[in-house]
């Protein structure tokens, strides 16, 4: 089966499937604990992104997500999506998530095209092609399940994880809504005040010659901004016989389309070539590198970085470096590849952030107006809601400056756009 999905964040973001499973387990336990602290208080968030980030790092021993990095903001959303799909979706469409403090501006989601070969709940193969929204690049992730083992292949690297008993197939919400799941959805609205109303209409329209049932789900009474596609109404066109999702449209608040799913080709009872579900052999485990998430000064940054940084040489009067951080992503020899510098204004408050990564990184290329960084070099300026983001490509690097707005749980006071352009013009000069 071949399926296209716009929405969701399926990228692996530099962590193995084993690490993601560990984060998912820890996040699920953490969210249940937080929900138990304030039962029924759905309108008031109980935890921030930053607090959850610290808690997950403490529970798993993994590096914190770097919210100063553009991709780092999507990483938490990806984790919350995994928790929602694998843990709470089968019982209600509330999609448990108390981590609700979103960052602006939010990039649109990538396009995910999946080719799924499904022989049973414990024997399947799923190849996902993830195309970033502004042509930043694409990633291919292949997952193969055979029994209790799942092999994940990304960028030539193979990891093997063991599935806990009773675990859902990872694409159950997007591909196969089993009848017991639908029954729970239909009943949830009568028992749970935060569960949306749901109805199932038989004798829906034919899709590719297949009779359908139409599952309609109303807007969530308790919206959560970290998973916008769960907040508004949703419609699923299900194969009448198998309950495979043939088409779906999910809306966020305000009835805006947040995610669409459509099956572009479908074959029942195919003959799978030999070896389709054979698990590849995992390669040698990479050298463990100590996480580098905070650096004391520019000298330490230059020692830790895999290349020489290009940073601003001219700042507004009174501005100085406050914090230097990294996502902890490393290359061979344990060198980091991305970093963020938060600059403090003359009043001592965070004013702007500078971010640098390899040009080939999937950092979000926000659309905007072309501006001249310096002669011969053009950047893109995105402005709105008190936030300005200026990005450009220079010397094989992706570089971005943010002024104003909220990032990594920190409110930036910002500087005038003209001053931001002068800072950009001094980078690498």
Per-residue pLDDT 10s for the chain (429 aa) are 555 554 444 345 677 777 888 888 888 787 777 665 544 444 344 556 666 777 788 888 888 776 655 556 667 777 876 776 555 444 433 444 444 344 334 455 667 787 888 887 788 888 888 776 655 567 888 989 898 898 988 878 888 888 775 544 444 434 444 555 566 566 655 556 677 788 888 888 988 788 998 988 888 777 665 556 667 888 888 888 777 788 888 877 667 777 777 877 777 788 889 999 999 988 777 667 777 778 999 999 999 998 889 999 999 999 999 999 886 556 667 888 889 999 999 999 999 999 998 887 767 777 889 999 988 899 999 887 788 999 999 988 899 999 988 776 678 999 999 999 999 999 986
What pLDDT was estimated at residue 264? 78
Q: Going from the N-terminus, what domains does the chain have, and what CATH number goes with each?
A: 2-265 (no CATH), 294-425 (3.30.200.100)
- Cα(216)–Cα(6) distance, integer angstroms: 19
pLDDT tens, residue by residue, 324-372: 988 655 666 788 888 999 999 999 999 999 999 888 776 777 788 999 9
- At residue 331, the pLDDT reads 61
pLDDT digits (tens, 9 = 90+) for 183-240: 656 665 555 667 778 888 888 898 878 899 898 888 877 766 555 666 788 888 888 8
Which pLDDT belongs to residue 322?
93
Q: For residue 328, is it left (φ>0), alpha (ψ between -120 and 50) or beta?
A: left
Put simply, whether the predicted model's pTM sits higher than 0.75 gets the answer no
């Amino acid at each position: 089966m071949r399926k296209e999905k716009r929405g969701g964040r399926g990228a692996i973001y530099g962590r193995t499937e084993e690490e993601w499973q560990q984060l998912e387990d820890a996040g699920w336990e953490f969210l249940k604990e937080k929900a138990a602290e304030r039962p029924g208080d759905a309108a008031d968030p109980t935890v921030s992104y930053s607090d959850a980030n610290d808690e997950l790092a403490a529970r798993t021993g993994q590096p914190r997500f770097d919210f100063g990095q553009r991709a780092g903001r999507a990483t938490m959303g990806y984790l919350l999506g995994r928790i929602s799909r694998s843990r709470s979706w089968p019982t209600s469409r509330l999609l448990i998530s108390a981590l609700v403090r979103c960052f602006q501006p939010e990039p649109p989601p990538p396009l995910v095209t999946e080719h799924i070969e499904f022989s049973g709940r414990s024997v399947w193969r799923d190849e996902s092609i993830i195309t970033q929204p502004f042509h930043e690049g694409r990633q291919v992730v292949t997952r193969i399940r055979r029994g209790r083992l799942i092999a994940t292949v990304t960028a030539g690297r193979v990891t093997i994880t063991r599935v806990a008993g009773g675990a859902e197939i990872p694409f159950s919400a997007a591909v196969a809504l089993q009848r017991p799941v639908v029954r729970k959805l239909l009943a949830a609205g009568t028992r749970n005040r935060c569960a949306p109303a749901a109805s199932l209409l038989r004798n829906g329209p034919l899709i590719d010659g297949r009779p359908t049932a139409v599952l309609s789900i109303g807007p969530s009474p308790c919206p959560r901004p970290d998973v916008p596609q769960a907040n508004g109404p949703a419609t699923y066109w299900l194969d009448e016989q198998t309950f495979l999702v043939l088409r779906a449209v999910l809306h966020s608040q305000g009835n805006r389309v947040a995610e669409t799913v459509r099956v572009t080709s479908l074959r029942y009872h195919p003959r799978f070539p030999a070896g389709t579900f054979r698990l590849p052999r995992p390669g040698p485990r990479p050298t463990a590198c100590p996480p580098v998430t905070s650096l004391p000064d520019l000298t330490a940054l230059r020692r830790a970085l895999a290349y020489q940084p290009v940073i601003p040489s001219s700042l507004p009067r009174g501005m100085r470096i406050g914090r230097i951080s990294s996502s902890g992503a490393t290359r061979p020899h344990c060198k980091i590849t991305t970093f963020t510098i938060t600059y403090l204004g003359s009043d001592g408050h965070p004013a702007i952030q500078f971010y640098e990564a390899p040009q080939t990184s999937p950092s979000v290329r926000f659309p905007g107006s072309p501006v001249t960084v310096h002669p011969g070099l053009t950047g893109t300026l995105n402005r709105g809601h008190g936030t300005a983001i200026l990005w450009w490509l220079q010397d094989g690097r992706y570089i971005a400056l943010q002024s104003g707005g909220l990032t990594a749980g920190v409110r930036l006071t910002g500087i005038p756009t003209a001053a931001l352009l002068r800072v950009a013009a001094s980078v690498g000069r």
